[in-house]
């Protein structure tokens, strides 16, 4: 999932639009996401001097498992992409920055401390691989509570059948146990 940024390196403020539609490669961790559709990434990348700013949207469909009925269901992912990519090239001939005309990257930026590199995302050369950040944006956008539908009735706690598909004869005590205890008190 690479974007060619060589034409963006020369002038501060240069911006280009990119449209990608790709799968996540196994190296990035595709086994953690079961894609139903390729990941569509719409990106604007801007030369901000010290870094390239990438902003856009991510759309795809993935498979999740319902926490109530345990069935797989399709989930539409629509999320945002925001990342700044810093050039990591250390030039030998005293050239600075991603831009020759507008050198903005100072020398001290090239001495990357461990703390800074933990937060910043770097690139080198004429391409940026946005895939790791696309992947983590998708992961962060996933719902905490995964249900196939708000109306999902789940599995019967007694016999285990899927109550969306079938009925069973089990007693379904709808009452919260704490409420049931209270009701007992009132009925005395
Ligand atoms: Zn369900
Ligand atoms: Zn049952």
What would the mean pLDDT of 130-159 be, rounded to a whole number? 93
Question: 171 pLDDT band (50/70/90 cuts)?
Answer: confident
Average pLDDT, the chain: 83
Q: How many Å lie between the centroid of ligand 1 and the Cα of residue 159?
A: 16
Count Cβ atoms within 10 A of the Cβ of residue 188 and give its class: 0-12 exposed, 13-18 middle, 19 or more buried.
Answer: exposed
Q: What is the mean pLDDT of residues 107-125?
A: 64
Q: Is the pLDDT of residue 111 over 60?
A: no
Query: What's the mean pLDDT in 109-118?
Result: 51
**What pLDDT does residue 93 have?**
46
pLDDT of residue 175: 57
pTM for the whole thing? 0.72
Q: Which residue has the tokens 């009132």?
A: 186
pLDDT of residue 116: 52
- How much is the pLDDT for 94? 47
- Contact assessment for residue 34 and residue 62, using Cβ atoms and an 8 Å cutoff: yes
**Residue 173, exposed/middle/buried by CB under 10 A (0-12, 13-18, 19+)?**
exposed
pLDDT (0 to 100) of residue 107: 47
Asked if residue 90 has pLDDT above 80, the reply is no
pLDDT score recorded for residue 31? 72
Question: pLDDT, tens digit, for every residue of 8-59?
Answer: 988 999 999 999 999 888 777 767 788 999 999 999 999 999 999 999 999 9
Å from CA of 34 to ligand 1 middle: 18
CA distances from residue 51 to 102, 123, 128 in whole angstroms, order as listed: 12, 10, 12
Q: What's the pLDDT score for residue 92?
A: 46
Ligand 1 centroid to Cα of residue 143, in Å, is 14
Instruction: Identify the nearest ligand to the CA of 145 by its number.
Output: 1
108 compared with 63, residue with greater pLDDT:
63
pLDDT at res. 75:
95
Q: How far is the CA of 65 from the centre of ligand 2 (A)?
A: 21
Please tell me the number of the ligand nearest to residue 67's CA.
1
Ligand 1 centroid distance, CA of 67 (Å): 7
Q: Count, in order, helices (H) and strands (E) of the chain.
A: 4, 8
- Higher-confidence residue of 105 and 175: namely 175
Mean pLDDT of 98-116: 50
* Cβ-contact 52, 128 below 8 angstroms: yes
Which DSSP string do the residues of 119-153 spell out, in sequence order?
Answer: H-EEE-TTEEE-HHHHHHHHHHHS-SS--S-TT--
């Amino acid at each position: 999932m690479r974007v060619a940024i060589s034409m963006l390196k020369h002038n501060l403020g240069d911006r280009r639009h990119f449209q990608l539609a790709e799968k996540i490669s196994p190296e990035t961790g595709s086994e953690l996401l079961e894609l139903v559709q390729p990941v569509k990434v719409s990106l604007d990348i801007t030369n901000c001097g010290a870094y390239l700013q990438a902003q856009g949207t991510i759309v795809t469909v993935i498979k999740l498992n319902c926490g109530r009925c345990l069935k797989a269901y399709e989930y539409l992912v629509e999320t945002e992409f925001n990342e700044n990519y810093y050039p990591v090239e250390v030039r030998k001939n005293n050239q600075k920055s991603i831009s020759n005309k507008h050198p903005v990257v100072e020398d001290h930026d090239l001495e990357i401390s461990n703390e800074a590199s933990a937060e910043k995302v770097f690139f080198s050369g004429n391409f940026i691989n946005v895939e790791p950040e696309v992947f983590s944006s998708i992961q962060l956008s996933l719902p905490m509570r995964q249900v196939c539908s708000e109306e999902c009735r789940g599995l019967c706690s007694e016999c285990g059948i899927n109550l969306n598909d079938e009925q069973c004869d089990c007693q379904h005590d709808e009452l919260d146990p704490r409420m049931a205890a209270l009701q007992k008190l009132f009925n005395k």
